[in-house]
Amino acid sequence: MKYLVLLFLFLSLSADDNYSLRIAHGKVTNSDFGEVLFFDVKSYPQDLKVTALDAGYLLKRDAFDLPIDFYVKGGLSYFDEAGLQDDIYEGTLYVKVYWNIDFLSNRVRLGFGEGLSYTSDILYVEKVEAIENNDNNSEFLNYIDFSLDFDIGRLVRYEPLKDTYLGVAVKHRSGIFGLFNNVEKGGSNYVTLSLEKNF
């Protein structure tokens, strides 16, 4: 925890809104990615959880003269496999686009990230899905990060909290219908509560 605090301090002293740091925690869902996007989130029989830390660097603000920001991001995640197998670690690298929606002095962001994910072993949920679908599985898969959040500081009119975002994020791994390691139907979706700070 002290290293996380030191990292927050370092970023706030050495940058001017070019960096971001996000922590997220949540559970796996039995829903596919499309169902999650339409808020149809089904519970999974086992209590599988993830805790993730992502850092980002701003590539472009207000791209194309629109309220769109581009970031490059990297993350580390810890998957609690609920004793079903050894816990798993993940590294991600992705580009994320935020659409900023400003209204009544508030800001809501819709975010979409696309990149790569590598896990230290096959996630339990992905093993089960591969068996059910007679499919392959892989540690190396496509990664999608979808988020919806709002600026706490703007909402409560407290300047020190400005550019601090609270929201939900979906961590999605898949083979894109066989493009990654012949994984056609397998993958996983974790729905998380996230807190992100821009420095």
Q: How many CA atoms lie within 13 A of 115 on its CB side?
A: 20
∠ CA 61-98-39, nearest 5°, is 170
CA dihedral 72, 180, 77, 199 (to 10 degrees): 10
Q: What is the pLDDT of residues 72-96, one digit of tens each?
A: 999 999 999 999 999 999 999 999 9
- Would you kindly state where each structural domain of the chain is located, as residue ranges? 19-198
14 pLDDT above the threshold of 80: no
pTM of the predicted structure, to 2 decimals: 0.89
What architecture does CATH give domain 19-198?
A: Beta Barrel (2.40)
Please give the full DSSP string across 37-94, using - where no structure is assigned. HTT-----SS--EEEEEEEEEEEESSGGGSSEEEEEEEEEEEEE-TTSS--EEEEEEE
